Structure 1
């Protein structure tokens, strides 16, 4: 008689099936361990063992402070779309300086990107981050109705992922695109760059479940001194 399969292995197999059916897609933020406890009506220990098994098999990634991700697939099509993987290798210990923080009406572009009505109120937040080695200029757009209690100090203290997760919806997926552009007025003013100098523009759109956009971020960095890496940890 064969031994009974442990419960944590059964749960791990069910999660594998969801990954194979692309219910949990490559690079996507999965339910966290507490949510998995509720989904499978199981104890914390059982879920932890199931997740540990999937991590050891290379199917799931743990990202400290954020959650669980399905292991991204390395293809030319999705390497810039994997959740949380585009990372500047030199932006450690940056000091943040808020340049703009105000509420405005969404124009056609942001209304379309955020799937909201034109003239709906949004936060327009601009800040510079500096270290000895690098400087970034960030523009963050958030719908007011999703972040009604947002304050300047929140932007100053916490990082973008935590800020996006502080609203009415939680981050489920992130799409990113990296472009090489030329420095314009904003980069000249805030980053002290010369006109026409090469600049990396990293555009990020943050989604809740059901592909609901909840935030937009554009980050600008000097292309001559910036190196991007793909982070799978």
Structure 2
């Protein structure tokens, strides 16, 4: 992840924890705090401004936008390939709840998207992520069994990407994604503690190994009041990869 994004995320966490409550240190002081250039700080502040967290007033500094802050609010980097648990490790109290796990035959859409045969089994996984005991998102995952062997229920309940990288020694490459919005469905209401009319941010991703083989289709349902999605400037090849029927 780019350094300016790491800095923006850290400042955002400090805003939510009320470490910064009214105004941020000036750009030169922030550059010293994060041992970086002022240019990098400016990029981080622009990103925070896009998230509607701060406002810079020329000649006066950067101020926290006055609003009621949620107890937990995360930015999901659509280009991050480290995995959810790894990205937040050591920063917040992250927990996963495995809702369903099974192996089944793939749908026609999944066969095409994952470049597998119709008789190849896939893992069908649903799990919920929480941060500081607050429900953040539901994740639906489809992975070919023969491409990522050994993905047990125990692994699915912990970190799938750690299994891919550390146990199987596979490198994780690019991803393509598309973001949509919808009203909360029955699973969102049950597991994310949403209301029926609440909007849900949906992040659809297709993830690849470094050798170019697709290994995962995922659909993440994010509570509207607890998450946002950001992208790098590089263009992504957007595809709608997941054919999931709960």
| TM-score, with length taken from structure 1 | 0.55
Matched-pair contact (CA < 8 Å) for 1:137–1:187: yes
Secondary structure in structure 2 of the residue aligned to 1:172: strand
Query: How far apart are 1:139 and its partner, in Å?
Result: 1.2
How far does residue 183 in structure 1 lie from its aligned partner after superposition? 1.3
The 3 A distance-change label for structure 1 pair 86 and 104 is closer
Secondary structure at 1:154's aligned position in 2?
helix
Measured after TM superposition, the shift of residue 167 of structure 1 is: 4.5
The Cα shift of 1:85 comes to 9.3
Whether contact under 8 Å (1:126, 1:139) holds in the other structure is yes
Matched residue, 1:162: 162
Retained in 2: the 8 A contact 1:199–1:221?
yes
Q: How far apart are the structure 1 equivalents of 2:229 and 2:81?
A: 12
Gaps of at least 5 residues in structure 2 are 3-35, 37-76, 234-246
Moved more, 95-104 or 178-187: 178-187
Partner of 2:106: 106
Distance 2:174 2:80 in 1: 6
In the alignment, which residue of structure 2 is the partner of 1:202?
A: 203
* 1:124 and 2:129 matched: no
Cα distance between partner residues in 2 of 1:84 and 1:169: 12
**1:178–1:202: 8 Å Cα contact kept in structure 2?**
yes
SS of the residue corresponding to residue 124 of structure 1 reads strand
Q: Distance in 1 between matches of 2:194 and 2:208?
A: 32
| Partner of residue 33, structure 1 | none
Q: Cα distance 1:122–1:85, how it changes in 2: closer, same or farther (>3 A)? A: closer
Q: Deviations over 1:30-84 (max 9, x none)?
A: xxxxxxxxxxxxxxxxxxxxxxxxxx9xxxxxxxxxxxxxxxxxxxxxxx86454
- Does the 8 Å contact 1:86/1:231 carry over to 2? no
Q: Which residue of 1 aligns with 2:188?
A: 187
Change (3 A) 1:129 1:120: same
Give the 5 Å matches for 1:41-60: none
C-alpha distance 198-85 of structure 1, shift in aligned 2 (>3 A)? farther
Secondary structure of 2:227's aligned partner: coil
Deviation (angstroms), 1:128: 0.9
CA RMSD in angstroms comes to 3.4
2:207 and 2:214 in contact (8 A); partners too: yes
| Correspondences of 1:45-84 after superposition (within 5 Å) | 82-84=79-81
Post-superposition CA distance 1:177-219 (Å, at most 9, x none): 2222221222123223222320011122111245321111211
Report if the CA contact (8 A) 2:170-2:209 is conserved. yes
Give secondary structure in 2 for the equivalent of 1:205: strand
For structure 1, the residue ranges without an aligned partner over 5 or more in a row are 1-26, 28-55, 57-79
